[in-house]
Structure 1
Amino acid sequence: MAVGRPGRSLTLRALLPNAITAAALAAGLTGIRFAIAGEWHLAVYAIILAGFLDGIDGRIARLLKAQSRFGAELDSLADSLSFGVAPALILYLWSIQDLPRLGWFASLAFAICAALRLARFNAQIDTDDQPHKSAGFLTGVPAPVGAGLAFLPFYLWMATDMAEFRNPVFVSIWLAAVGVLMISNIATFSWKSIRPRRSIRLEVIAVFALAFGALLQEPWWTLAAICAIYLALMPWALIKYGRIKRQRQAA
């Protein structure tokens, strides 16, 4: 009897990044389940957890030298569901279902914009001519950040208990606006472009530690403050990228 060739085994090093991506996908979909049950804070926590997992899977893949085309495609699929479909449905169920037509179109717009942004990102992976990327910037608001910004009315509602932040018209307009920011061509900061001076490294560490403590003590105010800081930094990113662009043209 002929003996077949033993199959190739997979190492934990190759599986770990994709397993983390799958966990992020599970967290995003579980957020929808919590929203259906009316457990809004758990739904948002699930999306935040998905964002954390999405932030580390790529770094772990590079650290372990386990990058693959399969992993990149899985990551984009997970991002589309966790940061496009899930936030749109959660916010629809939380507030904007009171506007069946306008609210649903706002949810559709956000989910579609997230998918389009991720499709653009995949299409440009092998493209050399990427002015924003070469300067250390991103094009448009990343999908995980867009999901975080989309929940800003919810953060404020949880922090203040003011019904105005749950107004379906306000939430619909805000959700659609964040979707537009995701597919826009504006330069936004990436982790690579934020490089604090070595002389203030201890102060930066202290700020991160305080922010983490604030997140534990006052999660909703802290998340709202993070969104406000990111929005405030967007004009600075445009100015900084414009300066780099002019320097390149002069050179």
Structure 2
Amino acid sequence: MNEKKAERAENIKKGIYILPNLFTTGSMFAGFYSMVASLNGNFDVAALWIFASAVFDGLDGKVARLTGTTSKFGVEYDSLADLVSFGVTPGLMMYAWALKPFGRLGWLAAFLFVVCGALRLARFNVQVNTVESKRFVGLPIPAAASMVAATVLLFHHFGWPSTYKRLAILVLIYLLAFLMVSGFRYYSFKDPALIKRQPFGFLLLAVVLLIVVAAEPAAMTFGIMLAYVVSGPLGFVVGWPRRRRLEKAVHKGHGAAAGR
């Protein structure tokens, strides 16, 4: 135990990798500025900065892997930054934007989102070496925060009444909190095949998607995030018959082996 502590201390003394941790710092800066915007009542700006934070968060890991600069320090720093940017920041934004009239129930609901995000990050750190890299177990906290930001932008764009806003965000908080700590699996977009050669039709589809998003960014961003959020439960329902067949086959196999 003492040798491991000494090794960690020695690694920190040798220095840390600057480039990936700068992206992580950029993610936390964007999250913090989003909180500042929320306190000033600029919720549409706050939502945009959450998306900016998500972009930085997506880049830090990729930069670390491409440059061979992954480290235990970077992993821990990234988790702390994620809790600030995608847990505390959207929780504060939701409370100030829609939940404040509910009083204690409002800030408790926002806290539920934060604590479930923290639990999701802790579980990810524990399971990072034991689960499939192409799938996340539970809704990733950046996706949950981005869903909240997309909802804010949608309501701001269409100018819907405050009553609908409060009801929608209350339901959304409980849904996202549950999905973050659930066992539903979500695609991680870490498949190396994504950056390899693809059919021409994929490029055409990507261009069309960009045009549609540019034409109606608020609605399309909300639609894309909603599709990702429901993909976990939908995949579970669609794959249920196959899992049942596999379970029955395993039980039959065990029964046959026991009969021998």
Q: TM-score, normalised by structure 2?
A: 0.80
* Deviation (angstroms), 1:91: 1.3
In structure 1, what is the Cα distance between the partners aligned to 2:207 and 2:23? Answer: 25
Assess, with a 3 A threshold, how the Cα gap between structure 1 residues 60 and 193 changes in structure 2: closer, same or farther: closer
SS in 2 for 1:77: helix
CA contact (8 A) 1:97 1:168 kept: no
* Alpha-carbon distance, 1:224 to partner: 1.1
Match of 1:4 in 2: none
Which of 111, 116, 125 is the matching residue for 1:113?
116
Alpha-carbon deviations, 1:195-238, whole Å to 9, x = none? 68x99732222232333334444221121111232244334432
Match among 164, 167, 173 for residue 175 of structure 1: 173
Measure the CA separation in 2 of the matches of 1:233 and 1:68.
31
Q: Comparing 42-51 with 186-195, which one deviates more in the overlay?
A: 186-195
Q: Is the 8 A contact 1:35 1:43 kept in 2?
A: yes
Q: 2:75 aligns with which of 48, 72, 75?
A: 72
Instruction: Name the count of aligned residue pairs.
Output: 236
Bigger radius of gyration: 2
Unaligned runs of 5+ in 2: 1-12, 254-260
Distance 1:190 1:124, change over 3 A: same
SS in 1 for 2:157: helix
Inter-partner Cα distance in structure 1 for 2:107 and 2:52: 25
Distance in 2, Cα, partners of 1:193 & 1:146: 21
Matched residue, 2:182: 184
1:121-152, Cα deviation, whole Å (9 max, x unpaired): 112234x3x3xx26x32101001101112234
Verify the 8 A CA contact 2:44 2:153 in the aligned structure 1.
no
- Residue aligning to 2:152: 154
Maintained 8 Å contact 1:47/1:83: yes
Aligned to 1:15: 18
More displaced 10-residue stretch of structure 1: 201-210 or 39-48? 201-210
Equivalent position SS for 1:138: strand
Q: What's the counterpart of residue 228 of structure 1?
A: 226
How far residue 100 of structure 1 moved from its aligned partner, in angstroms, is 1.1
Q: Is the 8 A contact 1:80 1:115 kept in 2?
A: yes
Q: Confirm whether residue 44 of structure 1 aligns to residue 47 of structure 2.
A: yes
Identity percentage of aligned residues: 28
1:191 Cα deviation from its structure 2 partner: 1.2
SS in 1 for 2:128: coil
TM-score normalised according to structure 1 size: 0.82
Query: Could you say what the CA RMSD is over the residues aligned between the two structures, in angstroms?
Result: 2.9
Retained in 2: the 8 A contact 1:102–1:172? no
